[in-house]
Amino acid sequence: MKLATLRTPTGTAAVRVEDGKLVELGYRDVGELLRRGELSAAATMNGREYPLAGSDLAPVIPEPGKIVCVGLNYRTHILEMGRQLPEHPTLFAKYADALVGPYDDIALPPESGAVDWEGELALIIGATVRRARGETARAAIAGYTVMNDVTMRDFQYRTSQWLQGKTWEASTPLGPYLVTPEELSQDAWLRTFVDDVEVQAAPIADLVFDPVALVEYVSTITTLRPGDIIATGTPGGVGHARKPSTYLRAGATVRTRIDGVGEIVNRIVPETT
């Protein structure tokens, strides 16, 4: 099953994706549907229908309570950055204001000259859990989506703390869908393209800490609730690690695709202040 959050003339609406159409589910967005415990029921709900083609999709979870991101979690990326494999996940946070829709523009802020791409698989929490283990952690995953953790590298490396480079407003596309776990193959690949040139390609099996391990770890620290997001990290191929370093410029188009999950497509534009 695939769910999305659709922008309509009267606000947003949670919808189910099927047969080239979107079916309204009676909730403001997918996050609200999850908080009401209606994920399973969404498969049979019926409401107003819209064409999928040309739809204006919001971030699939527009207002998550938490966005927990994992750095250095693909073996290839860790090695290209000249680091050792970690014993524990490297965590940082984003705020909901960083999110944009799966096909929205990404604005280049005038303060940064080192804006980088980081395609990622993100998981969406569907149950309230604390110190979850094993099957409890697995069952807490409502589904998966695509994210690009667009990063301002010059701000990220101003200090040893990454937050200031990671949560710029309107910088992080999320979507297009929540795809329930049975639709994600462990053989799936993540690929990122800049102007149709493939810059990242890796199997999600290359993750050092897989989604279940991340739910276990993060829920040890804090309660995870429906609609919370954990971004699992980016593979090798980021612009900062290239020789010379390469960054996003106005006019570029970035696409991130994960087999079985979907694709986000974002144009890079100058920020208008």
Instruction: State residue 105's pLDDT score.
Output: 98
| 33 and 90 part of one domain | no
Domain that holds residue 227: 61-270
Domain shared by 51 and 178, yes or no? no
Identify the segments of the chain with pLDDT beneath 70. 273
Q: Give residue 82's pLDDT.
A: 80
Q: What's the distance, Cα to Cα, between the start and end of the chain in Å?
A: 40
Same domain, 33 and 162: no
50 shares its domain with 74: no
- As beta bridge partners, residue 247 has none
Cα-only R_g, the chain: 18
Q: Are strands 172-179 and 99-100 parallel, antiparallel or unpaired?
A: parallel
* pLDDT of res. 112: 97
Nearest Cα to Cα of residue 116 among 270, 16, 249: 249
pLDDT of residue 15: 98
* CATH code of residue 146: 3.90.850.10
Residue 269 has a pLDDT of 97
pTM for the model stands at: 0.96
Quick one: pLDDT at residue 141? 98
